[in-house]
Amino acid sequence: MDSISTRNALKSAWARARAEMDGLPGGRGLNIAHEAVDRHAQGAGGDRIAFRFLSRDGERREMSFRQLAVETSRFASALGDLGVEPGDRVFLLAGRIPELYVAALGALKARCVVCPLFSAFGPEPIRARMDPGSARVLVTTPALYRRKVRALREQLPALEHILLAGTEEEAAEAGAGADGVRSLTTLLAQADDRFRIQDTDPEDPALLHFTSGTTGAPKGALHVHEAVVAHHVTGRIALDLRPDDVFWCTADPGWVTGTSYGIVSPLTNGVTSVVDEREFDAERWYRTLEAEKVTVWYTAPTAVRMLMKSGRELPRRFDLSRLRFIASVGEPLNPEAVVWAQEVLGLPIHDNWWQTETGGIMIANVAGREIRPGSMGHPLPGVDAAVGRRENGGVTLIEAVDVEGELLLRKGWPSMFRSYVHQKERYLGCFAGDWYLTGDLVRRDADGYYWFVGRADDVIKSAGHLIGPFEVESALMEHPAVAEAAVIGKPDPMVGEIVKAFISLHPGHEASEDLRLEILGHARKRLGSVAAPKEIAFLDDLPRTKSGKTLRRLLKARELGTPEGDLSTLEEPT
Ligand code: ATP
Ligand code: MG
């Protein structure tokens, strides 16, 4: 297709998706919270369960769409009572508790910009996001406020209102009543539970998300209300969401997945979401899948690898027969994991690809289409993907198949980020003509499947060859002793870089010289001598971000003795 007809085809795909939206009554625009909550609350589905919250102490609390509409309206009214205005930034710092979800959607009703932070952040990462994000309101818990935020107040001059969830007594003990600190419970009790969402331009800012910090300091990507069009259809197409589903997205709302698909998409699709407050635990996760009768499960490769590490016996003790669709995002999903799931869970895992910047799933293995283990699948309708090379300030498309290049997306999809906060040049630098440059290297096969090669920063150049870390790591993981692998390029005077692998082992295997040689031999057989690692180091665990991504840049910095860079998202070893 020529580029004009491509553009028209994309436009009409998104126009069709847009037509599935309700829109604010009276043609007053498009608001995420209306599509996610009020639209269902007002209709026949009002009594359907929107969220099923599983609390840290084992309690289970259900909230229907109608109840959610009331609670979120109360929150929106409360913001108005405080004098908070549309466009103001509302930050959320809490575990996966009901108040977080109510506040996020309530703030969207009030046309504020919502920025969820991961509750495990320490004070500095919190400051480093709230300050450039110009936070005016913070919703948090008394404990998190005391431990992490109170001492930062002077450094956050824009922060006026701090709303503490939990009981009024706890809030009072943490300082509610002075310095803009209030009990959220008291505030909500006084607020009107009716709220009329004011006219919302689809281009009004709605969500601010910081990237994972895998390749450097996190960037704040701003999204608009129109993004809901993509959240909605991609949930239906890539996650196969249907109205009767019980959906479990394991991501925390502190990351874009936990908002786009942990809050918005299941709601717009009228689906019940399970929200588990606790952290990963293999046995409890299997039990949750069984007990909650989860039908669609969206998780991440790290979690899958940890489940694999916990063995094949464990899942046999649970009835997972309700589960019908599994998807994964965040990192490349090794073919080994897809095969494991098919054998052990009886279902394959559908890998899909997207970024904080894209706001929604762009490339996916969709239901009913053949999965090629190790591939991220095909671009979704409305997404025009290409493989290209940056050249002279522009890009050259690579038409040939099976050739590696940067993944490009034609601009214009609804959930595309509209800026990086305070980094205009950097934002503009992400585009060349019509194309958004993702920074990831891929190849496309003859049948249009996309294969992840590595992040442009992580690709290894050895003896004139380009080596993608993903392929090497996947080959290493085929070895029965290897649980996880990460490879880096280590400078070498002869060949430029050699491949060095960091490996963690499955329980029951001990690191030894024999095992090292055996794994090296396996890799050489699978990959040939160029791409096979020359060095292997065994680690108990690989360093990763709090969102579960392997931090290759940290392994590399440690190997080279260079500065470790921004570690605000590093997961502390447990
Ligand atoms: P930063 O941009 O701060 O370095 P990040 O890129 O990890 O961090 P995210 O936006 O959370 O931040 O992650 C998006 C990236 O994650 C993608 O660009 C890609 O590198 C990787 N990724 C996501 N899904 C997949 C997938 N299915 N296969 C391979 N890589 C994936
Ligand atoms: Mg990124």
Dist CA 146 CA 479 (whole Å):
47
Q: Is residue 412 over pLDDT 60? A: yes
The 10s digit of each residue's pLDDT in 190-214 is 999 999 999 999 999 999 999 988 8
- What pLDDT shows up at residue 250? 97
Q: Which ligand is nearest to the CA of 569?
A: 1
Give the mean model confidence (pLDDT) for residues 274-280. 97
Domain with CATH 3.30.300.30 in the chain: 458-560
Task: Kindly report, residue by residue over 454-489, the tens digit of the pLDDT.
Answer: 999 899 999 888 899 999 999 999 999 999 999 999
Q: How many CB atoms lie within 10 A of CB 492?
A: 14
CA distance 479 to 334: 13
What share of the chain has pLDDT > 90, as a percent? 91
Q: Is the pLDDT of residue 282 over 70?
A: yes
Q: Which atom of ligand 1 is nearest to the CA of 452?
A: 29
Q: Convert the pLDDT of each residue in 312-337 to its tens digit.
A: 999 999 999 999 999 999 999 999 99
Cβ of residue 298 lying under 6 Å from some atom of ligand 1: no
Give distance in angstroms: CA of 416 to centre of ligand 1.
15
Which regions of the chain carry the CATH code 3.40.50.12780? 3-384
Confidence of residue 216 (pLDDT cuts 50, 70, 90): confident
- In degrees rounded to 5, what are phi and psi of residue 235? -60, -40
Indicate if ligand 1 lies below 6 Å from the C-beta of 549.
yes
State the DSSP code for 380.
Answer: P
Non-local (6+) Cβ contacts of 367 within 8 A are: 240, 325, 350
Q: What is the pLDDT of residue 573?
A: 65
Paired tokens of 460: 């290894």
Q: How far is CA 513 from the centre of its chain?
A: 38
> Please, which residues have CB within 8 angstroms of residue 219's CB and are 6 or more apart in sequence?
210, 211, 356, 420, 423, 426
List Cβ neighbours of 44 (8 Å cut-off, separation of 6 or more): none
User: How far apart are the CA of 438 and the centre of ligand 2, in A?
Assistant: 8
Tell the residue nearest (CA) to atom 11 of ligand 1: 212
Decide whether any atom of ligand 1 lies within 6 Å of the 329 Cβ.
Answer: yes
Q: Categorize the per-residue pLDDT at 145 as very low, low, confident or very high, splitting at 50, 70 and 90.
A: very high
Q: Which of 212, 361, 550 has the most ligand 1 atoms within 8 A of CB, as the residue to mutate?
A: 212
Residue type, 57: D
How much is the average pLDDT of 554-574? 88
Segment 503-518 mean pLDDT:
96
Q: How confident is the model at residue 1 (pLDDT cuts 50, 70, 90)?
A: low
Q: Please report which confidence band the pLDDT of residue 126 belongs to, taking 50, 70 and 90 as the band edges.
A: very high
Residues 95, 114: Cα–Cα separation, whole Å:
16
Question: Closest ligand 1 atom, CA of 256?
Answer: 11
Q: How far is the CA of 331 from the centre of ligand 1 (A)?
A: 6
Domain 458-560 CATH (choose: 3.30.300.30, 3.20.20.70, 3.30.70.330, 3.30.70.1560): 3.30.300.30
Phi/psi of residue 159, each to 5°?
A: -80, 110
Distance between start and end Cα atoms, the chain: 52
Task: Give the number of the atom of ligand 1 that is nearest the alpha carbon of residue 376.
Answer: 27
Provide long-range contacts, Cβ within 8 A and 24+ apart, for 306-310: 306/280, 306/282, 307/282, 308/336, 308/337, 308/340, 308/483, 309/282, 309/483, 309/506, 309/507, 310/282, 310/283
Length of the chain: 574
Locate the ligand 1 atom nearest the alpha carbon of residue 210 and give its number. Answer: 3
Instruction: Label residue 393 by pLDDT band (50, 70, 90).
Output: confident
> Ligand 1: which of 329, 351, 441, 549 to mutate, judged by most atoms within 8 Å of the beta carbon?
549
Give dist(CA 372, CA 180) in Å, integer: 54
Phi, psi of 208 (to 5 degrees): -120, 125
**Phi, then psi, of 273 in degrees rounded to 5:** -110, 135
Burial readout 35-66 (b: 16 or more C-beta within 10 A, e: otherwise): bbbbbbbeeeebebbbbbbbbeeeeeeebbbb
pLDDT tens-digit readout, 338-382: 999 999 999 999 999 999 999 999 999 999 999 999 999 999 999
The ligand 1 atom at the shortest distance from the C-alpha of residue 255 is 11
Distance 212 CA to ligand 1 centre (A): 8
Give residue-wise pLDDT tens across range 8-62. Answer: 889 999 999 999 999 999 999 999 999 999 999 998 889 999 999 999 999 999 9
Pair of tokens at residue 343:
């054998």
Q: Which ligand 1 atom sits closest to the C-alpha of 470?
A: 29
Question: For residue 115, what pLDDT band results from cuts at 50, 70 and 90?
Answer: very high
- The string of pLDDT tens digits covering residues 63-104 is 999 999 999 999 999 999 999 999 999 999 999 999 999 999
74 ligand 1 Cβ < 6 A: no
What confidence tens digit (pLDDT) does each residue in 163-190 have? 999 999 999 999 999 999 999 999 999 9
| Ligand 1 site-directed mutation target among 353, 436, 450, most atoms within 8 Å of CB | 353
Decide: 260 in ligand 1 pocket, CB within 6 A.
no
Q: Average pLDDT for residues 102-126, to the nearest whole number?
A: 96
Q: Is the CB of residue 477 less than 8 Å from the CB of residue 340?
A: no
Taking the C-alpha atoms of residue 171 and residue 165, their distance in angstroms, rounded to an integer, is 7
Residue among 354, 365, 371, 566 to mutate when testing ligand 1 (max atoms within 8 A of CB):
354
Distance CA 256, CA 229 (A): 16
Is residue 259 lining ligand 1, measured as CB closer than 6 Å?
no
Task: Note the pLDDT of residue 43.
Answer: 84
Q: Are 133 and 220 in contact (CB under 8 A)?
A: yes
Tokens of 170: 């706890």
The bridge status of strand 181-183 relative to strand 161-164 is parallel
Centroid of ligand 1 to alpha carbon of 440 (angstroms): 8
403 sits in the region (left: phi over 0; alpha: psi -120 to 50; else beta) called: beta
Q: Return the residue matching tokens 């996610």.
A: 36
CATH number listed for the domain at residues 3-384? 3.40.50.12780
Report the half-sphere exposure of 70 (CA within 13 A, side-chain side).
7
170 Cβ contact list (under 8 Å, min separation 6): 142, 164
Q: What's the pLDDT at 435?
A: 97
Task: Answer yes or no: is the C-beta of 89 below 6 A from any ligand 1 atom.
Answer: no
Centroid of chain to Cα 499: 29
- Does the C-beta of 252 come closer than 6 Å to ligand 1? no
pLDDT on residue 73: 98
Give yes or no for residue 215 CB within 6 A of ligand 1.
yes
- Please, what is the average pLDDT of the chain? 96
Task: Give the model's confidence band at 414: pLDDT under 50 very low, under 70 low, under 90 confident, else very high.
Answer: very high
Residues whose CB is less than 8 angstroms from the CB of residue 50 and which lie 6 or more positions away in sequence, other chains included:
37, 40, 63, 64, 65, 67, 68, 267, 272, 273
Q: Residue 574 pLDDT more than 80?
A: no
Are the C-beta atoms of 233 and 112 separated by less than 8 Å?
Answer: no
Q: Do 421 and 220 meet the contact criterion of CB atoms below 8 Å apart?
A: yes
- Confidence (pLDDT) at 427: 97
